Amino acid sequence: MSAAARAPAPGEPEARLLAEHGILRLRAENPGPLTLSGTNTWVVGSDPAYVVDPGPAGQAGQAGQAGERHLERILAAVRERGGLGGVALTHDHPDHSGAVAALLARVDAPLAAAGAHVAGRRVDVQLADGVVFGPLTALPTPGHSVDHCALIAGRACLCGDAVLGEGSVFISPDPGALAGYLDGLRRLLALPLRALCPGHGPAVFDPHAKLTEYVEHRLERERRLVAALDAGARGVRELLDAAWADVPEQLRPVAAVTLAAHLDKLAEEGRLPAGVQRPSV
């Protein structure tokens, strides 16, 4: 189905385009500065269907009701598609993995993730480069988290928080995180993809343009950072002012996390001057 997917016509509904890849998007009701309009859950294929990133756990009160509604929508979609073949995670952040236990308590199925355990449950299939789980093939995209994997389904990519439908992601300062992130984006660029299905925001039907934008965005941040360092900046605030001036104040702490990852990359490459203040993250 995905091999024959075509370029979208201007203004064509997202659901129809995703259907050509056998994919359905369900959005959790957890909007926020980091989750945008909410976390996306993706239902892939049929007879059986596979669920990618079931979303956040339900909580007490109104949030709990929203979580239960999201779970019911997932279960209804799975029933319509011939049952649940498995659940896969792009990464184990709570807004993506929190509902794993509740979903698998209702419908038992194998769980695939890069880590060994999720929500107190042992993972059945541990994702790594090239590992196949139902219709999904894993491609590591570390950066946002050390365990992050994109999942390829035909010519669509379930990309989690490696790429968003709008805006940019933060990079966690794990060893080699930013270099690994750029390598993952470039590997995705080399694939004949027709759709990106992100963890937040709308689906993207010009993957090459979006992935190129993401690589260039990260390199532009690096260029601004290096220019500030060359001009003598050494403190966290002045480096953020130079390279992340466009980031709202409420997201400055998140930008500081990514700044640490950029500084680590420069250090790994032997390009970081002495005396640079590193954010405490």
CATH code for position 68: 3.60.15.10
Q: Which of 14-28, 54-68, 157-171, 257-271 has the lowest mean pLDDT?
A: 54-68
If 0-12 CB within 10 Å is exposed, 13-18 middle and 19+ buried, where does residue 194 land? buried
Which structural domain, as residue segments, surrounds residue 39? Answer: 12-206
Structural domain contains residue 269: no
Helices (H), 133-243: 177-189, 207-230, 236-243
What average pLDDT score do residues 169-192 get?
95
Give residue 9's pLDDT: 61
Structural domain contains residue 255: no
Cα gap 62→7, rounded to integer Å: 40
Q: Which of 121-125, 166-170, 223-227 has the lowest mean pLDDT?
A: 166-170
Structural domain contains residue 260: no
* Count of structural domains within the chain: 1
Q: Describe the strand order of the beta sheet including 132-133 as a list of residue ranges.
A: 132-133, 136-140, 149-153, 156-160, 195-198
- pLDDT band at 3, cuts 50/70/90? very low
- pLDDT band at 11, cuts 50/70/90? low
Give the Cα-Cα-Cα angle 62, 91, 200 (nearest 5 degrees): 55
Between 174 and 40, name the one with better pLDDT: 40
Structural domain contains residue 62: yes
Give residue 119's pLDDT: 83
Cα gap 263→242, rounded to integer Å: 14
Cα gap 73→240, rounded to integer Å: 41
What average pLDDT score do residues 10-18 get?
83
Structural domain contains residue 124: yes
Structural domain contains residue 202: yes
Give residue 10's pLDDT: 59
Structural domain contains residue 155: yes
Structural domain contains residue 244: no
